[in-house]
Amino acid sequence: MDYLSIESLQISYAQDNQITPALKDLSLSLPLGSIGVIIGPSGCGKSTLLSVLAGLNQNYQGTVLINNKSPKECDATALILQEYGLLPWKTTWDNVGLGLQIRGFSKKETVIRTEQILNKLGLFHLRKRYPAQLSGGQRQRIAIARSLVLEPELLLMDEPFSSLDALSREEMQDFLLELWQETNLTILLITHNIEEAVFLGQKIFVMSECPGTIIKKLSNPLAGDYSARGKIEFLETSNSLRSSLRGLN
């Protein structure tokens, strides 16, 4: 049973009195508790796709179902943006508790849940700091905490580790994997990084240039294996993916 199902998704924008298609006939599905990775050239509509799934864009044609509900009806999704989306004027504590506050949780419940998630992710000591006082990796962890505190079923991530240096990036990939193994979340992640796609994605979707559609679907048995990075199969899968992407240019 697919948790996320997209059939013939189509999105167009009106630009300079012309209709420009952004996504065309895009279909993909993702089972519950799996990690899907979307990879494709810049400007192919990957972020537009996530905005539809997050319920931020309802001007689309086709069928999009998350646990048999439309994105607008489904409140079990959480979105993490490339630049983390943390508000600079709120402390870690307030940023993490913001979603709970917005969704009408009581003050007591907000405090309990915020404290729990910060402790779980080892961030409690940073609770009084503002985003400007944190490193890129810490900010990303806090953005993840802000999403997880809402206990989502589907986590959408838009190039979440692209601003990090190579080592922090690998650390965050391991961290995400740990979280996924603990929580059984369904994750859909966008990346430009081929190795990241192979390391994390049980299903890898390659998108075409604009108007974006899925041109290749790959099932990846190496995903979720911490020791995969050094294996020959990992390099082979990465190279195969690289060839697919080069074919687009």
Are the C-beta atoms of 187 and 176 separated by less than 8 Å?
yes
Contact mark string toward other proteins, 173..212, x via CB under 8 A: ----------------------------------------
Provide the minimum distance between the beta carbon of 118 and other proteins in the complex, in angstroms, as a whole number.
17
Q: Which residues are within 8 A (CB) of 125 and not within 5 positions of it... i.e. 6 or more apart?
A: none
Q: Is 171 in the site for other proteins (CB under 8 A)?
A: no
Number of H helices, E strands in the chain: 7, 9
Closest CA to 114 of 90, 96, 95, 98: 96
Closest CA to 31 of 190, 186, 218, 179: 186
Burial class (CB in 10 A: 0-12, 13-18, 19+), 191: buried
Stretch that binds other proteins, among 13-21, 83-91, 176-184, 221-229 (CB under 8 A): 83-91
- Give me the amino acid identity at 86: L
Q: Is 86 in the site for other proteins (CB under 8 A)?
A: yes
Phi/psi at 73 (5° precision): -80, -25
Of the candidates 34, 48, 51, 191, which one interacts with other proteins according to CB under 8 A? 51
Of the candidates 19, 102, 167, 232, which one interacts with other proteins according to CB under 8 A? 102
Provide the minimum distance between the beta carbon of 165 and other proteins in the complex, in angstroms, as a whole number.
21
Of the candidates 103, 125, 128, 217, which one interacts with other proteins according to CB under 8 A? 103
Token readout for 188 is: 């859909």
* Footprint (CB under 8 A) of other proteins, residues 144-163: 146, 150
Q: Is 235 in the site for other proteins (CB under 8 A)?
A: no
Strand order across the 186-191 sheet = 77-80, 154-158, 186-191, 35-39, 203-207, 214-219
DSSP 82-93: TTTT--TTS-HH
Between 25 and 75, CB nearer to other proteins = 75
Count CA atoms within 13 Å of residue 197 on its CB side.
27
Contact mark string toward other proteins, 117..146, x via CB under 8 A: -------------x-xx------------x
Between 6 and 79, CB nearer to other proteins = 79
Provide the minimum distance between the beta carbon of 97 and other proteins in the complex, in angstroms, as a whole number.
11
Provide the minimum distance between the beta carbon of 36 and other proteins in the complex, in angstroms, as a whole number.
18
DSSP code at position 89: T
Stretch that binds other proteins, among 30-38, 54-62, 194-202, 217-225 (CB under 8 A): 54-62
Residues that bind other proteins (CB under 8 A): 51, 54-56, 75, 77-79, 81-90, 98-99, 102-103, 130, 132-133, 146, 150
